[in-house]
Each structure stands twice: as structure tokens, then as C-alpha cells.
Structure 1
Amino acid sequence: MSRRVLVLAHTGREESLKAAWEACAQLHASGIIPVMQKSELGDMEGFFGAMDQPVEILHDHIQLPDVELVMVLGGDGTILRAAELVREVDVPLLGVNLGHVGFLAESERADLAQTVEWIASREYTVEERMTIDVQVWVRGQKIWHTWALNEAAIEKGDRERMLELVTEVDERPLTSFGCDGVVLATPTGSTAYAFSAGGPVVWPEVEALLIVPISAHALFAKPLVVSPRSRLAVEVLNRTDALGVLWCDGRRSVDLPPGARVEVTRSTTPVRLARTHQTPFSARLVRKFELPIHGWRGPVPQSEQVHTGPVPIVRTPRTMAPPSGLRPYEPGSESDPPTEK
């Protein structure tokens, strides 16, 4: 049975078009049929000319469930777009970073040929990343329902006016404050918008939800990490007529009038990411953020048996021997010091 890999690229950039061209050629050479979206294939061939090998077109020649893997060429934004495309099918994403940080990507541009070899030999694993379910209610009516891989961000709609919000966890109010917004994030999103707003970095395997205020005017407005089973909510208060806007993964948005309520829970549908090598998350942090690690010595080697030397005896003043010619003081003896009458 033929193997097919969908190649998604940010075709607005020349570097991305070149990477897509090389990926399709290398997939063909490895015996894998490349698949592209019609518009992206047209952009690529319009720049380089027709390919020598055929490329199948998604939804014309093949459907998403028939694709083994999606190879995403671009930054995190391109990967988030790909996640929207494959959300309802069981197809993993493998990102090749062509952007700046590219935290969701597995490989870099220089590793493109090696990445194709790993795909051809099936040397990759698949991990599931938590997503969130997002609902918006206005006057008791649900006006919007979507999802997010990184975060749902409530922001002020007017730069000149502060947004008045109240946060809620498990159907109980937590605190209210004026702010620029609040980020409700997943562990995957902890290194995205939530990180920029001062939130903690959460390891991907940790199941949790994050609440990160943005420039809040309040004493108790710290980032919170709560249970993945919790139900989070943020309400836009009616103290002012300031409007808000909700952004999910920076790609989908809806306006929030005063009185609007945003509810966030864990979604039952995760996003699947392919990994070609088991790099610890700490090493990914160091590489992506270029963190200084000079002077690190590493763990102390452990042996099966630990041998220690003799324990030294430390003498205290009460146990030390008296100087020569003197005898120790004994209570009640004739040498007791006189007491005042």
C-alpha cells in the first residue's frame, strides 16, 4: 500500500517554497507520495515550474484520513494552522521550523533531508497534546464555540480603556481586577502567549490548565496552575462599557461585550505531534531560548556501594579531659563556688 505525506507550507515566503519543493522531491526519492493543497501546489509550481514527479492534491486525489503524516514547513503559526486542518482526523503533525523560535517544531531547516529519512524509515513516535474547549455566553445564550491548542486570550478591545474582569474556578469566583486581559492556557501554550505575560513554563507531560493575568491592577493577580479537570471562566464586568475580544491561538476571534462570559475546559480531542527523537523538554528549552548553561557539571556518578571513612569524634567542653593537675568540677564538692547569703 502506498504511503502518503501531506506537505503544508507557508507559501508567502520564498524559503518555505524552496523547503516544500525539496521535501516533495526527497519524499518521492524515498518511495513516499507527497500530497499538497491545491493552492499551495500552485504557488510552488508558479515559482519553480512544474515538478518532474507528480504530487497528489488533497481533497481531489486523496482525503485526509488516507495521509500517514503531515509535514509542516514553517513556524508555530503554520503548525497551528495545520492543527486546525487535522483536528478531526487521527493524523500526527511533524514540524520543520522555518520561523524564529518554532517551539512546536521537531526539526530545523538544516535537518530537512534527515527528517525525510526518519519519516521513510518510520523512526518517529507520536505524543498527544492537551487542547481546550472554549465557549462564549452572552445574556444566557451561547454565541461561540471553538477550541485551542495554546491558549484562549481575553484582551481589551480599546487600547485607551482598561478591561474589568472577574475570574472563576470550578464555578466559584476567585478575584476581580482591571487589566489588559487574561490568558487561559494549556501546558503547550505555557511557552507562548502565557510565557510572554509572565506565566510559568509547564512541561508538556504535566496535565494542568493555566490562568495568567495581563498587566492586572491588583495585589492578588498572580499566574495560577489548576487541575485539568477544573472548569475555568472569565466574565467581562458591567462596571464600564469597555469591550473585550477573545483570541484562540491567535487565529480565531470574537468580540466580548460587557456581561460576556468565557468558559474553558479540557477538550476530549488532543492534537498529535510526531517526534523523531526523544529530546528532553529541558534541552528543548535551552536550545530554543538559548539559555546559558556554562559551568554545569552534571549529575554525580552513582555507584552500587557507597563507602565512607571513619566518623571523627568531636569532643565538647563537657567531655574534654581537664588540664594536668586539675580534677573535674563536681557539684556539691568543697570547690563549689560560694553563694551570696
Structure 2
Amino acid sequence: MTRRVLIVTHGGRPRAVAAMSEAVSELESAGFEVTLHDDDLAETFGDRISSVRLREGVAESEVVMVLGGDGTILRAAELTHGTEVPLLGVNLGHVGFLAESERENLHDAVRRLAAHDYVVEERRVVDVVVHRPGEDEPVTGWALNEATIEKGDRERMLEVGIAVDGRPLSSFGCDGVLVSTATGSTAHAFSAGGPVMWPDVDAVLLVPLSAHALFSRPLVISPRSEYVVEVLERSPIPGVLTCDGRRSIDLPPGSRVHVRSGAVPLRFARLMPAPFTDRLVSKFNLPVVGWRQAADGAARRSVPTEQGPPEGSSPGPAPVQKEV
């Protein structure tokens, strides 16, 4: 039976092209049939036809190998969302939180893939439903990292209302509101002051962006609950909803965005058994030894030990006795 791997990368970058050439050679030597995806058109928000068009050839693949950073992996996620095909990320970017291997370990990644020496991990997405004034049918979308409602104009603040499970919670002016998965908690939500959530935490995070309010703390709800973010009628400007930084839709005043945990997860091929804690330390270069611990160690090393003079050396001068 032929085993097929679909490669997704950024064809306009020399480093990516070089990695793709090596990956094709390694995969073919390991007995895989390799296909390349070079269509960089983003999936349009709510356009099911574009989703079908983008996924041609994916279902026949054992794995979609992504050569690039997290942005390229998010692009590849548009190909595999709704399928059983896992993503295998090889990091060519800066952080590569979603990637499973580094560029220098490409040969080993192919070897592990050929030997079926990997596990498949599922990651929750969020489902998004948008109701806009004057439109009878809602528009649907999804996100692996986050769905962000931001102001459409830089000059004014966006006025929003927040509800949980249909119950009003708060309203305020802000630059926006970000709704994140556990996977996305280390991306935009993290830089906006949100907490880091371990990937197996089944919850949905909301982080207000520069909110003009006393109560604007991050919120975490269960997968059975739902956020509703409304662009209030009194908002002086419209909003824009963006999913994973790729798929966008305008939000005129009166629009409501419903976000909840999605029913269909994304699948990732995992090679490394290391826990998420180790990945967090590695990617953020966290100081595992804190400054207090380092200071204590330095202090212990600087304390002289009590010992007599070396053997064969002459004793020093006797101490001078002073009369009181």
C-alpha cells in the first residue's frame, strides 16, 4: 500500500525551499509518495466551497508535513480541519510552539514517521457563529488558536458587551476581545496578559484587549459554555472578527459573535514524549533556576572553609594581644 505525505511550506523563502528539497528526498528514500501544496489562498470565512477546494489530496495522505513556523502550521490546519489527517510540524520559524521537530532533526522525523513511531494528539478548536444585522443566516467559522474581535478603526474605541451562556456579564470600550483555545493561550492571548493553559485543559479563554473598565480580567469557561461578544449599537466604530490571523469578517454595530468549544478537533502527529512543561521552558527559554536559588548557590561557593595551613608551611605571625 502506497504511503503518501503532503508537504506544506512557504515557497517564497529560500530556507523553506531548501528544507522542502531535503524533505522530499528523505521521504522518497523512505518509501513515501510525496505531494506538494503550493496554493497560499486562505480559506475564506464561512466559505465551505473554498474549504473543499483547498483540501484536494489531503484525505489520501497519511500525514501533512509542515515546514515553517506557527503561521504556516495555521495555514495547513485549514487543509486538515474536519479530516482524520494529522499535522507534523517541522519548525523553520522563531518560536514554533505548534511544531514537533526542528529543522536539524528532519532526518530523524522522517525515520520516525516511516516506522510509525509517533502518536496522534487531538487539540480542541473553537466554533464561531456570527449574526450580523440585516442578515437572516448566520456565518460560521472556527479557530485553532483564537478568534479576535478588534476595532475596525484606530481612532476610536470599540464598544462591546460580553455574555456567558446567555447571561450579560459586562460591557466596556476596548481595542478588542480575544477568545482563545488552550492551544492558543501561548500566542496572542499570552502577549495580551492571559494565562498559559496546558493543552489538555478543556476550556475556552477570553482576554479583553486594553479595556476601559474596572472589571476586565481574563475569563475561563468550560467546554459546555458559550461566550457571546456583541458589538453594541452605540459603538462609534465597527469591529472585525479574525480567526487565527487568517480569516476575517466585518462586524457592523449590532453584530453578535458566539464562540464555544468545537466538536471536531484538529489532529497532530507527536514524536516527542516530553510533557508540555518542558516545551514551555524550551520555547520561552525560562530560567528554571531562579535568581534567589542562583544567589544562594553563589553565596555558598564564596564562604571559605575552615582548615589548617597546608602541610609543610610555616605558621603565620601570632596575633597581637592588646591591653584593655
Does structure 2 conserve the Cα–Cα contact (< 8 Å) formed by 1:151 and 1:248? yes
Q: Which amino acid aligns with 1:74?
A: G
Give 1:100's match in structure 2, choosing from 94, 97, 104: 94
Q: State the partner residue of 1:144.
A: 139
Q: State the partner residue of 1:313.
A: none
Q: State the partner residue of 2:318.
A: none
> Following the alignment from structure 1 to structure 2, what is the Cα–Cα distance between the partners of residues 290 and 257?
42
> Following the alignment from structure 2 to structure 1, what is the Cα–Cα distance between the partners of residues 18 and 270?
23
Which TM-score applies when normalising by structure 2? 0.82
Q: Is 1:233 aligned with 2:228? A: yes
Percent identity of the aligned residues?
58
> Following the alignment from structure 2 to structure 1, what is the Cα–Cα distance between the partners of residues 117 and 211?
46
Q: State the partner residue of 1:116.
A: 110
Does structure 2 conserve the Cα–Cα contact (< 8 Å) formed by 1:136 and 1:142? no
Q: Is 1:7 aligned with 2:7? A: yes
Give 2:217's match in structure 1, choosing from 219, 222, 233: 222
Q: Which amino acid aligns with 1:258?
A: P
Q: State the partner residue of 1:67.
A: 61
Q: State the partner residue of 1:181.
A: 176
Q: State the partner residue of 1:31.
A: 31
Larger C-alpha radius of gyration, 1 or 2?
1
Shift in alpha-carbon separation, 1:240–1:31, aligned structure 2, 3 A: closer
Q: State the partner residue of 2:273.
A: 278
Q: Which one is further off, 127-136 or 62-71?
A: 62-71
Which TM-score applies when normalising by structure 1? 0.78
Q: Please report how far the alpha carbon of residue 143 of structure 1 lies from its aligned counterpart in structure 2 after TM superposition.
A: 4.3
Residues 204-219 of structure 1 mapped to structure 2, 5 A cutoff = 204-219=199-214
Q: Please report how far the alpha carbon of residue 32 of structure 1 lies from its aligned counterpart in structure 2 after TM superposition.
A: 1.4
Q: Please report how far the alpha carbon of residue 123 of structure 1 lies from its aligned counterpart in structure 2 after TM superposition.
A: 0.9
> Following the alignment from structure 2 to structure 1, what is the Cα–Cα distance between the partners of residues 89 and 127?
24
Residues 247-266 of structure 1 mapped to structure 2, 5 A cutoff = 247-266=242-261
> Following the alignment from structure 2 to structure 1, what is the Cα–Cα distance between the partners of residues 110 and 179?
36
The count of residues paired between Structure 1 and Structure 2 equals 277
Structure 2 residue ranges without an equivalent (≥5): 41-52, 294-324
Q: Please report how far the alpha carbon of residue 37 of structure 1 lies from its aligned counterpart in structure 2 after TM superposition.
A: 2.6
Q: Which amino acid aligns with 1:153?
A: T
Q: Which one is further off, 231-240 or 211-220?
A: 231-240
Q: Which amino acid aligns with 2:232?
A: L
> Following the alignment from structure 1 to structure 2, what is the Cα–Cα distance between the partners of residues 5 and 106?
16
Q: Deviations over 1:225-269 (max 9, x none)?
A: 111110110001122331110000000001111111000122111
Q: Is 1:87 aligned with 2:81? A: yes
> Following the alignment from structure 1 to structure 2, what is the Cα–Cα distance between the partners of residues 148 and 198?
20
Task: Name the structure, 1 or 2, with higher relative contact order (CA <8 Å, separation 6+).
Answer: 2
Shift in alpha-carbon separation, 1:39–1:233, aligned structure 2, 3 A: closer
Give 1:199's match in structure 2, choosing from 191, 194, 197: 194
Does structure 2 conserve the Cα–Cα contact (< 8 Å) formed by 1:106 and 1:276? yes
Does structure 2 conserve the Cα–Cα contact (< 8 Å) formed by 1:129 and 1:273? yes
Q: Which amino acid aligns with 2:114?
A: A
> Following the alignment from structure 1 to structure 2, what is the Cα–Cα distance between the partners of residues 184 and 135?
13
> Following the alignment from structure 1 to structure 2, what is the Cα–Cα distance between the partners of residues 129 and 109?
23
Does structure 1 conserve the Cα–Cα contact (< 8 Å) formed by 2:127 and 2:142? yes
Q: Is 1:125 aligned with 2:119? A: yes
Task: Report the secondary structure of 2:254's partner residue.
Answer: coil
Q: Name the Cα RMSD after superposition.
A: 1.7
Q: Which amino acid aligns with 2:76?
A: A
Task: Report the secondary structure of 1:70's partner residue.
Answer: strand
Q: Please report how far the alpha carbon of residue 207 of structure 1 lies from its aligned counterpart in structure 2 after TM superposition.
A: 0.2
Q: Which amino acid aligns with 1:148?
A: A
Q: Is 1:160 aligned with 2:168? A: no
